[in-house]
Structure 1
């Protein structure tokens, strides 16, 4: 149930939980409900959408965590640092060596590479494109819906489509990827959801970890792409080593 869209009440509840992150292990579900001026069921529904079995499970997970001991930072900043540390370590430890090796082989054998990404994920894709170009790979990045679909229809069995999508559920990207697959192109997916449509469609999936504790105060997709950047870095490092050994 991770990454389900929160209602307005649930988003506000999650914001309150984040603002009282340090106190949560000592707060009952009814106390959280009072702080957020919502029902107990709303609190439970909120944490379940964030991937926990319920409030008790969520509170227990926080009890086991310790904030970094760095002098001079407020507890709020330490919480933010802790989330980044969590994403970094969990992504690195969760990377499949076999998937990396398979992805490297696909990149090496591809006659052309198409990168599909939108929003902030396109920045990570741009970094990947520039790095692959250093090895004289024919690679292009497409971030507009019409562009992705157009060029997907001109792929073939020697084409490699690399998709970067945090959720793995962006409709425009999935539509373009399906079109490329119909042309027998192979695909690598970089995402944080192993159950996403992207992970199911890709021939090779590299799955990172996204902390469910991030707060988004905006009505825009500004979620951290740190897991995608880590996957890009590891994949490119592995590809570089492979090239040097050839």
Structure 2
């Protein structure tokens, strides 16, 4: 099945995200009326999002709210704040659930036996790269980070097979990173990708991919400042796992 949402399905999903607190109490007919879409559109959208149907999606929402979110200590919480909390919780939980232990283990081994670790990142992802660089250095690893587009492309052509490159990119489509990743791929340089887009161009060139979940809504729609929370979670898991492995050995 094509998992890309049609215009109508995307409209429905945006409606659901903006009414996330009410949706668990809706029947499929009521959601159809409220969102002004057909029940067939609802079913198709749910399946593309990985759920068996609307009922399964509602159960997921109720389970998440009942098990993980507790507002009982607050007399009254603004609906917008609740929605923001639930959105962040969804990114955390689903990113952790998407982590593949085998990929984490492979990444740790690649980093451990590499002579040098290179971190390539752009924009807001640079902050994650900066933290990773410092923590790798604290473990005694030879690690450096580069954010300048031309430097990234130039260095990617001068690496050796004893190096490992870690690409940090939320959407996996940053042009200079894609160019650098292709250079590494062509030269058989080991590479690790931290991303939230498993169909991105970077996925085609990176050896090991650690993929997180990115919610589709943004509270800053006019700017390219999407949340890097999924990447922060992946980086934290990778760094902690690596530090533990180095300490154990």
Whether 2:157 is the aligned partner of 1:158: answer no
Coordinate RMSD, CA, aligned: 3.2
In the alignment, what sits opposite 2:220?
217
Deviations 1:90-117 (A, max 9, x none): 2223222211111111111112211111
How far, CA to CA, are the matches of 1:92 and 1:18 in structure 2? Answer: 21
In the alignment, what sits opposite 1:240?
243
Q: TM-score, normalised by structure 2?
A: 0.78
In the alignment, what sits opposite 1:37?
none
| Contact persistence 1:188–1:205 (CA under 8 A) | yes
Aligned residues: 234
How far, CA to CA, are the matches of 2:56 and 2:47 in structure 1? Answer: 14
Structure 1 residues 132-211: aligned runs within 5 Å: 132-211=136-215
Q: Aligned-pair distance for 1:147? A: 1.9
List gaps (5 residues or longer) in structure 1.
34-39
| Contact persistence 1:95–1:207 (CA under 8 A) | yes
How far, CA to CA, are the matches of 2:33 and 2:50 in structure 1? Answer: 17
In the alignment, what sits opposite 1:52?
49
| Contact persistence 1:15–1:215 (CA under 8 A) | no
List gaps (5 residues or longer) in structure 2.
none
| Contact persistence 2:190–2:207 (CA under 8 A) | yes
Q: Aligned-pair distance for 1:75? A: 2.5
Whether 2:61 is the aligned partner of 1:65: answer yes
Q: TM-score, normalised by structure 1?
A: 0.79
